[in-house]
C-alpha cells in the first residue's frame, strides 16, 4: 500500500507519496516521469510524514531554508540511489554542474543527467541545484521555469541555455 497527499505550491500542484513512514515521491502534476512509480493500490490519507513535508515546503516557498530533514526512501537502482543521495549533499543556495557530479561519482555527465532527471522526490532531493556547463540553466523534469523559480528562491540567478 502506498499513500498520497497533495500540496498546492506557488508553481503548481504537487503530489506527495509515502510508504507510511518515509517520503517516497514528490512530483509536480505535469512533470515528466510524474508518479511513474506509484502502484494502482494507493490511498489518500493524512500521515505525519505528509504534515512534516508540507511544513518543510511552506518554509521553503517563503524563502526560508528549512532546518530539518525529511525522511526519504528511494526505490531505484543502486546507481540512481547513489546519485540522488549525492543531491542531498548540495547545500541550499549552492549549485553543482552535471560534470562536477560525474567526476565525484566516477561516471559520465550523461549518466548523471539521466539519473537526476528521474529523481522521484523533487525539491527536497534538490535536483534543481544541478546545472550545465558555464552555469547554464538546463534540464528539469518539472519544467525549466520551475527550476529557475526554485534557484531564484535560493538567491541563485543563472541564465537559461539558448
pLDDT digits (tens, 9 = 90+) for 26-82: 999 877 666 655 555 667 778 999 999 999 999 999 999 999 999 999 999 999 999
Same domain, 84 and 32: no
Boundary residue ending a domain (28, 61, 94): 61
- Mean pLDDT of the chain, nearest integer: 89
In a domain, 69, yes or no: no
Tally the domains of the chain. 2
List, by residue number, the catalytic residues: 127
Assess if residue 73 is contained within a domain.
no
Kindly state whether residue 84 falls inside one of the protein's structural domains.
Answer: yes
Q: Is residue 72 a part of any domain in this protein?
A: no
Question: How far apart, in whole angstroms, are the C-alpha atoms of residue 140 and residue 144?
Answer: 5
Task: Taking each helix axis as running N to C, give the angle between helix 98-105 and helix 78-87, from 0 to 180 degrees, rounded to the nearest 10.
Answer: 120
Up-side HSE of residue 124: CA atoms within 13 Å toward CB? 30
Give the domain extent around 120. Answer: 78-160
CATH of the domain at 109: 1.10.10.10
Average pLDDT of span 133-153? 87
Residues 140 and 84 grouped into a single domain: yes
Is 71 part of a structural domain of the chain? no
Which residue is it, cell 529523481? 119
Do 107 and 141 lie in one domain? The reply is: yes
Amino acid at each position: 500500500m502506498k499513500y498520497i497527499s497533495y500540496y498546492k505550491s506557488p508553481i503548481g500542484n504537487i503530489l506527495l507519496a509515502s510508504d507510511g513512514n518515509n517520503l517516497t515521491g514528490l512530483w509536480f502534476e505535469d512533470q515528466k516521469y510524474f508518479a511513474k512509480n506509484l502502484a494502482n493500490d494507493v490511498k489518500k490519507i493524512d500521515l505525519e510524514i505528509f504534515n512534516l513535508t508540507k511544513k518543510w515546503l511552506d518554509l521553503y516557498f517563503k524563502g526560508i531554508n528549512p532546518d530539518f530533514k525529511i525522511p526519504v526512501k528511494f526505490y531505484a537502482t543502486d546507481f540512481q540511489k547513489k546519485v540522488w543521495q549525492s543531491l542531498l549533499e548540495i547545500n541550499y543556495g549552492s549549485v553543482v554542474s552535471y560534470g562536477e557530479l560525474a567526476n565525484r561519482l566516477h561516471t559520465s555527465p550523461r549518466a548523471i543527467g539521466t539519473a537526476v532527471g528521474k529523481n522521484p522526490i523533487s525539491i527536497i532531493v534538490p535536483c534543481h541545484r544541478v546545472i550545465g556547463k558555464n552555469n547554464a540553466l538546463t534540464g528539469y523534469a518539472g519544467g525549466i521555469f520551475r527550476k529557475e523559480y526554485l534557484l531564484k528562491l535560493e538567491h541563485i540567478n543563472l541564465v537559461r541555455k539558448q
